[in-house]
Copies of this chain bind each other. A is one copy, B any other.
Amino acid sequence: MSGRLFVIGLGPGNPGQITPEASAAAAEAQFFYGYAPYVDRLTLRPDQTRIASDNREEISRANAALEQAAGGASVAVVSGGDPGVFAMAAAVCEAIEAGPAEWRDIELTIVPGVTAMLAVAARIGAPLGHDFCAISLSDNLKPWELILRRLEAAAGAGFVIALYNPISKARPWQLGEALDKLRTILPGTTPVIFGRAAGRPDERIEITPLAEARAEQADMATCVMIGSPETRIVERGDKRPLVYTPRFSAGASQ
């Protein structure tokens, strides 16, 4: 008897950015697993059960959800943003690969969402308008040297860079070192965007030249975006400036 597992992306926090598909999936599930602040975004019915856990317990959470689904229940694992971007979808796949054979029979539905970098970008213009990459600064899952090498490769090749998980109590120095590394490659005038709680009442978005960007401008919930040398700022009087990366690049045929 195999149940059903939904892995649901709730977007960056603005209820208007939760897709109808995500709401429909949440209406079908009986049990809700996730990091407490994400699960708390949903208003559950009395017949729905909340099983919240800490932020860093992805694999045990995925295992618990899969075990319950394997018993026949309809289960949801809830993520902020998009579940496939540094979130629960990969943990669930990993748990299925390592787990008992019957977990592969569970009906698995992953519901995409608006990931943080898209929501922050929309509030500021179009910084991701040209080729870009997303890098998690969380070095408990990969060596710090690899992160530095990726920053170097991406900045050197002209990608705009979105940094996820930039800073936390357990990772206090990584963002500062990443910015120092980028300062050796990119012009000091390159715009850096610190975007927090995009589209929510407590939104805070700052634009700072790379030369002056400081790690203290970010917290755990901030998406940090570093422009490419082609990223531009358009001043708009008393409105927030627009930051965008042009669709074309120098040397194009048209």
Residues of A within 8 A of B (CB): 9, 11, 14-21, 24, 58, 82-86, 89-94, 96-97, 104-105, 108, 110-115, 118-119, 121-123, 125-136, 139-143, 146, 149-150, 152-154, 156-159, 199, 232, 234-237, 239, 242, 244-249, 251-254
Report the Cα distance A222→B164, complex, angstroms.
Answer: 27
Report the Cα distance A109→B93, complex, angstroms.
Answer: 36
CB distance from A172 to the nearest CB of B (A): 15
Contact B154 A251, beta carbon cutoff 8 Å: no
CB distance from A2 to the nearest CB of B (A): 11
CB distance from A142 to the nearest CB of B (A): 4
Contact A122 B234, beta carbon cutoff 8 Å: no
Report the Cα distance A236→B234, complex, angstroms.
Answer: 51
Contact A142 B251, beta carbon cutoff 8 Å: yes
CB distance from A228 to the nearest CB of B (A): 11
Report the Cα distance A207→B214, complex, angstroms.
Answer: 42
Contact A97 B232, beta carbon cutoff 8 Å: yes
Sample 5 A-B pairs with CB under 8 A, ordered by A number.
Answer: A17-B21, A83-B122, A112-B118, A146-B158, A150-B159
